[in-house]
Structure 1
Amino acid sequence: MSGFQYGVSLYSYTDDIGTVMGLDEALEHVADTGATGIEILSESHIPAYPRPDTAWIDHWFARLERLKLVPTNMACWVDTSITLNHNRTEEEGAAQLAQDLRLAHLLGFRFIRPKFGVIDEELTPHPIWRGAVERVLDLADELDITIIPEIHAPTPIRHPVTEAYVDFIQKTGTRHFGLLIDTGIFQDRPLPYWPGETPEIRKAALSFLDGIKVPVEHLAEVIDYVPFIQAKFHHIDEKLHDHHIPWDRIVPMLKKLNYNGYLSSEYEGVRDPWVAIEQVRRQHCLIRRLERETELSHA
């Protein structure tokens, strides 16, 4: 039974980067967890995006080599509504994707996660996504980068959005398009209320914060198309108990399905300075413990 690969999304530390620590220090904290993978937000973490200078690129690779980290996923965006009067065409969307594919390749990434503009509250991507992606599949193949749109609450696995992505993979036969599963879809307990949030606001627009409770068994229906997982979480206490995400069911299911890709920590809890560092460490300890326990139970 092969093991998971562990990574961290720098989104977990976004509020700290630039305020109480820099990018170099954030990478030090990633390495300190024992993780090997690093995931970034393109526009937030790359100076002068989309054209960082040579000195920054050299420093990027030098610090990754020193810390024994590898680039995994570069999150990027395809804003479909440029102005109130103009939506991107498929050709314009493809140009944006091509730009990000080339930048990801330059920086050593294996995946890009494009966030397309959506047309409803169920996160249905703008219809240009299919034509835009199809136009860059040859480039993705040439650069050996996989394009992985995110399955994120309130969109479950059994949903037309997910089905459309799977249909695209099956019809094109591509190996360079897949699904990124965000573990927030398995959340089964409510999150605390945000400042200023009322029960009425949550019921009307933010009900997914109570958890959409996707059964972990549904992973079996799509796992063949899932090369990368964002390990979303919000709070793990000092006893390594996650208050919202059922890792005790997720981890055994992933092991059963022989998933051996990355679990990339994505902390979205309290954003007080330094809290994310301890939270990410706790998550890695929790998942590693559950992985060992699952392996021992099947030995």
Structure 2
Amino acid sequence: MGIKSGVSLYSLQDEYMNKRMTLAEIIAFLDEHDVEGFEILPDQMLHDTPHPSKETLADWDCIMSKAQVKPVCADVFLNTNLYNNRELTQKECLDLLIEEIKLASRLGFKLIRLVSMVPSFVIEPLLLYAEKYDVAFALEIHAGMSFDIPETKAFIDEMKRVNSPYCGLVIDTGIFCDRIPRVFNEFNKQVLGVNPAIIDYFNAFFDQGLDGSQAFDEAHQLKPELAAMAEPKDMPYIMLADGYENTPLSVLEDVFPYIKHFHFKLWEMTDEGEEYSIDYRKILTYLHEHGYDGYVATEYEGNRWILPGHPMVEKEQVIAHQKLIKSIITELEGATSNV
């Protein structure tokens, strides 16, 4: 019971993609560091999902038979734009998600994460299969696609209407940033040549307790002072910087009973043992005080902002983040941490 630590294998994607670690070695790495649960993107690390071969499933079974870490969440996608001339029909959407539920059950997961913007019409018809296979589904609330987005609101309204234990939310803590990730700023400044004045412009909003949404007007156009500085080479930074949100934790009050899982975003662990952009002591204290009973999974995304010539530090960052999380959980709940 209580808050449990986890790791999304997305955090170690470079290790896997560049064949420095196999899936079996990644799971062994989590066990070595006493991680309690893990989540996976099946189509990233299991070939031919949602219909993997018998050989792939046999390999999975072998890995799981030796593992202590528990399969917790399978991250799935619904590509409604699969075809370039039309969107998927409702039946096609449902058929794809039903197959994902079946696979999650076969792999031992009790939860699938639906990527942000999945339409609300899938909820009621999916419940029959979620109950049959004992696999819940939950929409990810992600920065840039958070609570104020119409599609998110529609999903939450329908989720509340059906009020099923098999339908809920996954909260990504990228909506709770106190600062823009330093690694993101440095990569854009040093590698992509973004105007430092624009980076300072966005940082200043966070210094005031705000976020990058303040750089845009109601029509989501650049405010005049930013438009005067911006060149075409700066636009990718500007559009991404808007995706680090500084939202109060109170936004969770209305939906807290529906929260199934957390992505604990990680961009940079500092030498002081803290995450640079997010106050995880504050978040974990909030979850503890509200009686959260579930997993909080490290999701490292600083790997995409590693400067040229610098080593990849996925494993080191994950270990440091897990140490931070588990030390705070121990302090709050008296849990045993062996990290």
| TM-score of the aligned structures, taking structure 2 as reference length | 0.78
Residues of 1 paired with 2:134 and 2:242: CA distance?
35
What is residue 15 of structure 2 aligned with on the other side?
A: 16
Determine the C-alpha separation between the residues in 2 that align with 1:224 and 1:151: 15
Q: Hey, what's the Cα distance between the residues in 2 that align with 1:204 and 1:230? A: 24
Look up the SS of the partner of 1:221 in the other structure: helix
Structure 1 counterpart of 2:264, from 213, 231, 256: 231
Q: Which residue of the partner structure matches residue 280 of structure 1?
A: 318
Alignment-derived partner of residue 6 in structure 1:
5
Secondary structure of the 2:273 match is coil
- Which residue pairs with 1:171 in the alignment? 161
Alignment partners' CA distance in 2, 1:32 and 1:4: 20
Distance 1:18 1:81 in 2: 25
Change (3 A) 1:215 1:89: same
More helix as a share of residues: 2
Q: Measure the CA separation in 1 of the matches of 2:134 and 2:106.
A: 12
Query: Any conservation in 2 of the 1:40–1:75 contact (CA below 8 Å)?
Result: yes
Q: For 2:13 and 2:247, how far apart are their aligned partners in 1?
A: 28
Aligned sequence identity (%): 28
Unaligned runs of 5+ in 1: 117-124
| Superposed displacement of residue 162, structure 1 | 4.0
Indicate conservation of the 8 Å contact 1:265/1:280, yes or no.
yes
Cα separation, 2, equivalents of 1:159 and 1:238: 36
Q: CA RMSD in A?
A: 2.0
Structure 2 counterparts to residues 47-196 of structure 1, below 5 A: 47-115=47-115, 125=117, 129-157=119-147, 160-191=150-181, 192-193=184-185, 194=188, 195-196=191-192
Q: Does 1:208 align with 2:242?
A: yes
Q: Is 2:5–2:325's contact at 8 Å kept on the other side of the alignment?
A: no
Give me the whole-angstrom Cα distance separating, in 2, the residues matched to 1:82 and 1:295. Answer: 45
Which whole-Å CA distance do the structure 1 matches of 2:235 and 2:318 have between them? 30
Alpha-carbon distance in structure 2 between the residues aligned to 1:70 and 1:203:
37
1:137 Cα offset (Å): 1.4
Contact 1:91 1:132 in 2 (8 A): no
User: Partner amino acid for 2:176?
Assistant: F
1:82-114 Cα deviation digits (max 9, x unpaired): 222111111110011011111111111111112
Mapped partners of 1:133, 1:92: distance in 2? 14
CA offset at residue 158 of structure 1? Answer: 5.4
Give the whole-Å Cα distance in 1 for the aligned partners of 2:151 and 2:242: 16
How far apart are residue 202 of structure 1 and its match?
5.2
Alignment partners' CA distance in 2, 1:156 and 1:81: 21
Q: Distance in 2 between matches of 1:216 and 1:44?
A: 31
Aligned AA for 2:321? Answer: Q
1:291 offset after TM fit, Å?
2.1
User: C-alpha separation between the residues in 1 aligned to 2:63 and 2:97?
Assistant: 27
Aligned partners of 1:204 and 1:238: how far apart in 2?
Answer: 28
| Number of equivalenced pairs | 284
| Structure 2 match to 1:256 | 289
Deviation at 1:135, TM superposition (A): 2.0
- Work out whether residues 265 and 300 of structure 2, in 8 Å CA contact, stay in contact via their aligned partners in 1: yes
Identify which range, 273-282 or 238-247, moves more after superposition.
Answer: 273-282
Normalised by the length of structure 1, the TM-score is 0.88
Distance in 1 (CA, whole Å) between partners of 2:149 and 2:83 is 29
Report the structure number with the largest CA radius of gyration.
Answer: 2
Letter in 2 for 1:14: Q
Distance 2:138 2:193 in 1: 32
> Per-residue deviation at 1:157?
3.9
Is 1:146–1:175's contact at 8 Å kept on the other side of the alignment? Answer: yes
Cα distance, 1:258 vs. partner?
Answer: 0.6
Distance 1:56 1:92, change over 3 A: same
Structure 2 CA distance for aligned equivalents of residues 159 and 171 of structure 1 = 19
Provide the rounded CA distance (Å) in 2 between the counterparts of 1:241 and 1:215. Answer: 20
Contact residue 231 and residue 263 of structure 1 kept, 8 A: yes
Q: Are 2:303 and 1:270 equivalent residues in the alignment?
A: yes
